[in-house]
Amino acid sequence: MSSSRRAPVLISVIFLAVILPPVLTVLGAGFAGSTAGAWAGQVQSVLSRPSTWRSLRFSILQAAVSAAISVAVAIPGAYLMSHYRFRGRQIIQSLSLVPFVMPSLIVILAVIGFYGRAGLLGRLFGGDLTFVYSGVGIIIAHTMFNISVALRIIAGGWMQVDERYRWVSASLGERPFSRLLHLHLPLITPSLVSAFIIVFLYCFVSFGVVLVFGGVRYATLEVRIFQEMFTNLNLTAAGTLAALQLAVAGFLVSLIQYLTRKKGAGTVRSGRRFHARRWNELARPARTLAVLYWAAVGLFLFAPLLTVVVRAFTSNGRFSLISFRALFGGAVGTREVSEIMQAQLPDILMTSLGMATLSALVSSSLAYLCARSLRDHLPGWLDTVLTMPLAISGVTLSLGLRLLLFGIVPELVLIVMAQSIMAFPLVFRNMRGHLRALPTRYLETGRSLGARPLHLLWTVEVPVLWRGLVNTFAFAFAVSLADFTSVLTIGRGRIVTFPIAMYRLIGFQSFDVALALGVVYMVFVGLIFFVVDITSVQREEAGL
């Protein structure tokens, strides 16, 4: 058997060997140390609680609505990004990612600050927009997070479609609207479906957002698992709920895939270099619409984040640095801020940075190895397997790792493991996209010239793919930096990163200091992305 045929099997075996044990540990938690009968009784009692089914219903509902809105909003943007070259396209692409790499707590603060009680919108239009403290707030926050994900996946799919199809359609006299419906829509359906599934899963297992917004009424299964585990100390209930969540996620994803599968499996012909049209080839009314669209999306994504910045710098309606002074060694009321956060700011910085760097290194190197060995042949079933961490949920996975390895492996390492696994599906997708820049035959040429694989890695792969590698690393870094779930679940409060500190500040009702910390975080991530952008642009000018 050649290595290309062995790789998918090997990778899936290793992958499953890593993710299954922690999951099974959680599912079977509580079984040990009790009789089968008692265990079954407890499981039944969990499943017969109305609150369980209410949570399940709410999980599905909010995830479906968030995913549908994210995909629908992203479609026009994806069309513009994939078909037109315009000033600021690159900036839009980078900016749209900003909410996604923000810790969920910042986005929550932003949503509350903008839409909520005494929020900007309320003050502008009067009235009390309390709806935000319900499912609506959750959906707004989820949509803010996930528009960029949908935008990227759909635009990526659209760019794969051979431009000549459009020429043929035009030459046959098809009108643009009919073309959109009969040509584009069927061709991009796979990317629409995969965007929907990914956003759906993200929201279905969402933790931080629901933890803060939902309260008891709007708890998702994910939040309930956490509560059962750490508040009620009921392992059996946590395991049961995790199993229910996994089963439902698996069922829904399979159902979507089944309903939308292609009959007669025609593959979209691609391979021709993508040809972007100039902005001014767009008709004037369409151009106006497009500008309005970007403005609306921009407002939706950034107006709330902007209020975070504004509020961090104001006190009693005036510009003030009081929150920042408190953050850098001050106090709120009688308590030191570092006491509230249970860590010093420099330590928080070092811990966050160190773990995110490690996680990003692990997940992007693994993603590179996988993407490289699967580049010519990624079977559909393997794609599903590699997407699994999205459905498993951070709480379940982190819990499993903790139950399984606590005391054997240091907590920091466990968190790095959890973060790498959680980030893997998207990092892998990202990496696969970048790998297209270096077709296999370049590597074959190198080998025919006598270069061994490791030598090729340094002399050809890394230099040619540099930009993509840095890009993917930065993405993985930001995702891990923003991680709240596994640090909270595994670290149990002893390990303090940005999001945990923020969580504590919010819990102590010192919103302004939390906002100041949010601003520090944004500046931090912004700087990293800026440096990445500059280095990769320089490489690009060097002829790459």
Partner 1 sequence: MIELRGIRRDYGNFSLTADLQIDERELLTLFGESGSGKTTILRLIAGFERPDSGQIFVGGREVTRLPPERRQIGYVFQDYTLFPHLSVGQNIAYGLRVQKLPSEARMRRVRELLDLTELAGFEDRAVAMLSGGEQQRVALARALAPSPKALLLDEPFSAIDTERRGSLRRHLLNVQRTLQIPTVFVTHSRTEALYLSDRLVIMRDGAIVESGVPRDIYERPTTLYAARFTGSANTFTHEKLKRLPAHWLDGPVPAERAADQGAPIAVLRPEKFEFTNTGQSEPEGGCLEGQIRHVGYFGSYCLYIVETELGELEVQEEPGCSVGQTVRLCCPAGSIHLLG
Contact residues: partner 1, CB under 8 A: 2, 439, 441-442, 444-453, 455, 459-460, 463-464, 542-544
Please identify, using beta-carbon distances, which residue of 178 and 459 lies nearer to partner 1: 459
Please identify, using beta-carbon distances, which residue of 277 and 455 lies nearer to partner 1: 455
H or E stretch at 331: strand 331-332
Tokens of 205: 């297992």
Please identify, using beta-carbon distances, which residue of 266 and 333 lies nearer to partner 1: 266
Least distance between partner 1 and beta carbon 421 (Å) = 32
Please identify, using beta-carbon distances, which residue of 6 and 217 lies nearer to partner 1: 6
Please identify, using beta-carbon distances, which residue of 128 and 444 lies nearer to partner 1: 444
Least distance between partner 1 and beta carbon 468 (Å) = 13
Please identify, using beta-carbon distances, which residue of 259 and 449 lies nearer to partner 1: 449
Q: Do 446 and 438 contact (CB within 8 A), yes or no?
A: no
Please identify, using beta-carbon distances, which residue of 316 and 448 lies nearer to partner 1: 448
Alpha helices in 436-461 (DSSP H): 440-448, 453-456
Least distance between partner 1 and beta carbon 455 (Å) = 6
Query: DSSP of 125-184, one letter per residue?
Result: H-S--GGGGSHHHHHHHHHHHHHHHHHHHHHHHHHHS-HHHHHHHHHTT--HHHHIIIII
Q: Do 351 and 496 contact (CB within 8 A), yes or no?
A: yes
Cβ count near 442 (within 10 Å): 14
Cα 303–332–309 angle (5° rounding)?
A: 15
Least distance between partner 1 and beta carbon 269 (Å) = 16
Amino acid occupying residue 84: Y
Please identify, using beta-carbon distances, which residue of 56 and 464 lies nearer to partner 1: 464
Least distance between partner 1 and beta carbon 87 (Å) = 25
Least distance between partner 1 and beta carbon 166 (Å) = 25
Using CA atoms, how far apart are residues 4 and 14, in angstroms rounded to an integer?
Answer: 16
Least distance between partner 1 and beta carbon 438 (Å) = 9
Q: Do 533 and 510 contact (CB within 8 A), yes or no?
A: no
Query: DSSP of 45-71, one letter per residue?
Result: HHHH-HHHHHHHHHHHHHHHHHHHHHH
Alpha helices in 84-134 (DSSP H): 89-95, 98-101, 104-115, 120-125
Cβ count near 319 (within 10 Å): 8
Using CA atoms, how far apart are residues 453 and 465, in angstroms rounded to an integer?
Answer: 15
Please identify, using beta-carbon distances, which residue of 9 and 247 lies nearer to partner 1: 9
Please identify, using beta-carbon distances, which residue of 46 and 443 lies nearer to partner 1: 443
Using CA atoms, how far apart are residues 36 and 486, in angstroms rounded to an integer?
Answer: 30
Least distance between partner 1 and beta carbon 542 (Å) = 8
Q: Which residue has the tokens 């603060």?
A: 109
Using CA atoms, how far apart are residues 245 and 469, in angstroms rounded to an integer?
Answer: 34
Please identify, using beta-carbon distances, which residue of 45 and 445 lies nearer to partner 1: 445
Least distance between partner 1 and beta carbon 445 (Å) = 5
Please identify, using beta-carbon distances, which residue of 381 and 458 lies nearer to partner 1: 458
Q: Do 490 and 418 contact (CB within 8 A), yes or no?
A: yes
Using CA atoms, how far apart are residues 27 and 43, in angstroms rounded to an integer?
Answer: 11
Residue closest to 480 by CA, chosen among 415, 526, 403, 428:
415
Least distance between partner 1 and beta carbon 457 (Å) = 13
Least distance between partner 1 and beta carbon 543 (Å) = 5
CB-based contacts of 240: which residues, under 8 Å, 6+ apart? 42, 43, 46, 47
Q: Do 103 and 499 contact (CB within 8 A), yes or no?
A: yes
Helix (H, G, I), strand (E, B), or coil: what is residue 116? Answer: coil
Please identify, using beta-carbon distances, which residue of 284 and 441 lies nearer to partner 1: 441
Least distance between partner 1 and beta carbon 73 (Å) = 37
Using CA atoms, how far apart are residues 230 and 395, in angstroms rounded to an integer?
Answer: 11
Least distance between partner 1 and beta carbon 374 (Å) = 17
Residue closest to 343 by CA, chosen among 505, 208, 479, 486:
505
Residue closest to 92 by CA, chosen among 156, 152, 145, 146:
152
